[in-house]
Structure 1
Amino acid sequence: MKIVTAIDSFKGSMTSIEAGHAAKKGILAAHPDAQVIIKPLADGGEGTTDALIEGLNGKRIPLTVTGPFGDPISCYYGYLPETSTAVIEMAAAAGITLSDRHDPLTATTRGVGEIILDAVRRGCRDFIIGIGGSATNDGGIGMLSALGFSFLSENGSDAGEGGQALGKVCSVDISGQDPRLKDCRFRVACDVTNPLCGKNGATYIYGPQKGVTEDMKEPLDQAMSHYARVCASFLGKDCSLAEGAGAAGGLGFAFLSFLNARLIPGTSLILEAVGLEEELKDADIVITGEGRLDHQTAMGKAPVGVASLAKKYGAKVIAFAGSVTADATACNDAGIDAFFPIVRGVTTLEEAMDPANARANLAACAEQVFRLL
């Protein structure tokens, strides 16, 4: 019997790989001869870098980069030596949680470009990048500037960075870009479909949480539109209306326009990156799950992505969770054949989330399920 586990992290209790090993322990207690394959699972957001580092024998690369408001910050990215792939979360360099300050006119994505440049120098040519949780609304000017692209004002001087630079851009110069970028492939985890500009664009929809006030919306959106027109005229292509162009304050637009990136739903990108489908082709049972299983899980979250792929090859799908809600039955319609909460009795939240308890509970639950099977 071949079993493949792809379990999302139980935040505060178990990483994706730790959950996989706990399930494997329980499975083997019931079926010692079972073949159990453990794959990491994430959705492209927070925790993706750690999941892929742990699950794909990667390395954590620490470095200091420019933070969203110009101060140096310490962060890290993942390096997967086997495939020369870098795994980056833009929030590590330009995330909204990095500062109590909210100023869309000055917040910059420069640090994201500095991470990319460091990875390029290390030999990476494939990139997996999550762009959720940004503090910025700069259209990606900061990131691109760090990579050697220049955005010039009317008099030929540098237009600057942050949202305040967008309306000043009159021309683009790519002569200084790092030539190695032409050999790089960027896959960007993006779960939003917003265009760059307009009432459904970056500024109007996501700007308020970054400090965009009501009276700033229209002028800042117009500045973003101006910036997009200048870029389109220079490049001969307009990516401003593409789905996801408005993600991360226009960072999606920058990736599409200047780095020929693919914007892919987060879960799909991670499943592709870890090679899950290949393992599912001859799998009998697939194990997935997350900390809390509810109706939102059925609305496209990572465990349902696993289930959908498993059903393509006719495998049974079992999910384990720290807790389940009454409306989690929606997961059954989304491809999860059966799901089980792992908590075994009355307990406090602190006890249930204790990592040692969580691992033991998951192993025990998996053992009993597989004794039945």
Structure 2
Amino acid sequence: MSGRTAGRRIVLAPDSFKGTATAAEAADALARGWRSVAPDDELVEKPMADGGEGTLDAFAVAVPGAERVPVTVTGPDDRPVAAEWLRLPDGSAVVELALASGITLLDPLRPLDAHTLGFGEAIAAALDGGATRLLLAIGGSSSTDGGVGALVALGAGFHDATGARPGLGNRGLGVLERVDLGAARALPAGGALILSDVTNPLLGPDGAAAVFGPQKGASTDQVAVLEANLVHLVHLVPDGAAVAAAPGAGAAGGTGFGLLAWGARMAGGAGAVADAIGLDDALDGAALVITGEGRFDGQSAAGKVPSEVAARAAAAGVPVGLVAGAITADASGFAASASLSELAGSGAAAMADPLRWLEAAGAELARAHA
């Protein structure tokens, strides 16, 4: 190791390893492994996300001075859920749908009746807490309610023929007669950005019901009901057809649609997170950046975290190391790579103790980049 340059800056910017390690845990394990080989290097942890589960945690680690604010909300099956939002030093608030209305909160799934009320309650809490800008991470949804539950919590009016509010969830959309978005709370001065890597429209064969309904427990017949009810909602929302056709309107069971109708803007996933956590500044002068995800495959180049980090690193002239649970696509564009499955001997072994093998991967990349 005598030929190694001491004191280099190494940036650690992995995504979560879905179901096994959060992005923050992955970055920390990689750091431990790297330090075991190169203790003099400066390690900058910038865990990444694409707007899905774990986005709030990634911001909490990557942004100095970020403050978690606990809040109890109504879960997707009406039970109370202990959630949180994140206050950033610049006045922005990160609100993650998965924590308040996520699919992991349900057992069993409720394809027609799950809702996003709790997500809206968390957004309202952030506004009450003085948020000047909203960063809304909407991956991991349990519902196909078109974002109506969230809008209800923000004060929008949804009425049936009697003037009453229908039940929450997609089922209630079918009996709507009037929608009043003007009654909703105003966006904060800095606006609201939707963080999502999903570009599907709301309706049709690529829409929320057809593509994501089955993942949320919907049968073929129920998918048809979900779609019909979303179509009915679109007809009642001002400029609904245009909003429904926008990229990302189908994200999170149509929560993208509801937020766009409220006035939020679609900001993309990994790119918006990278901007918000200051990844470009961290890359300036770095000797290497390490990124990764659970599985690096043919889809990884389509806006996923490793491709976003690699593109920004290329612009900064910084080489990139890749870590993944499994690497099934060409990784020759990376300066070095490490597969947890190969290090552990099998995918099952890697998943059984991911932090151990992430640490081993960090050490391997440190040796490769000595």
Counterpart Cα distance in 2 of 1:312 and 1:194: 29
Counterpart Cα distance in 2 of 1:251 and 1:351: 32
Counterpart Cα distance in 2 of 1:263 and 1:285: 31
Whether 1:65 aligns to 2:73 is: yes
Provide closer, same or farther for how the CA distance between residues 253 and 324 of structure 1 changes in structure 2, counting only shifts above 3 A.
closer
3-state SS of 2:50 partner? coil
5 Å-filtered alignment, 1:1-373, equals 1-9=8-16, 11-12=20-21, 15-19=25-29, 21-22=31-32, 25=35, 28-29=38-39, 32=40, 36-57=43-64, 58-80=66-88, 82-174=89-181, 176-179=183-186, 181-232=187-238, 238-258=242-262, 260-321=263-324, 323-325=325-327, 327-328=328-329, 330-332=330-332, 335-341=333-339, 349=349, 353=353, 355=355, 357-358=356-357, 361-371=360-370
Q: Could you give the per-residue CA deviations for residues 93-114 of structure 1, whole angstroms, max 9, x where no partner exists?
A: 2222212233333221110100
Provide closer, same or farther for how the CA distance between residues 239 and 311 of structure 1 changes in structure 2, counting only shifts above 3 A.
same
Counterpart Cα distance in 2 of 1:94 and 1:351: 26
Shift of 1:118: 0.8
- When normalised by structure 1's length, the TM-score is 0.83
Q: Could you give the per-residue CA deviations for residues 129-153 of structure 1, whole angstroms, max 9, x where no partner exists?
A: 2222222111111110110110122
Question: Structure 1 regions of 5+ residues with no counterpart?
Answer: none
Shift of 1:79: 2.5
3-state SS of 2:107 partner? coil
- State the superposition RMSD in angstroms: 3.0
Counterpart Cα distance in 2 of 1:168 and 1:351: 46
Counterpart Cα distance in 2 of 1:131 and 1:217: 21
Counterpart Cα distance in 1 of 2:184 and 2:165: 15
Contact 2:30–2:362, Cα closer than 8 Å, also in 1? no
- Letter matched to residue 229 of structure 1: H
Contact 2:131–2:188, Cα closer than 8 Å, also in 1? no
Contact 1:8–1:15, Cα closer than 8 Å, also in 2? no
Contact 2:296–2:326, Cα closer than 8 Å, also in 1? yes
Shift of 1:324: 4.6
Question: Structure 2 regions of 5+ residues with no counterpart?
Answer: 1-7
% same residue: 36
Shift of 1:67: 1.1
- When normalised by structure 2's length, the TM-score is 0.84
- Letter matched to residue 276 of structure 1: L
Aligned positions, number: 357
Contact 2:30–2:363, Cα closer than 8 Å, also in 1? no
- Letter matched to residue 307 of structure 2: V
Shift of 1:23: 5.7
- Letter matched to residue 63 of structure 1: V
Contact 1:5–1:37, Cα closer than 8 Å, also in 2? yes
Contact 1:148–1:178, Cα closer than 8 Å, also in 2? yes
Contact 1:26–1:366, Cα closer than 8 Å, also in 2? no
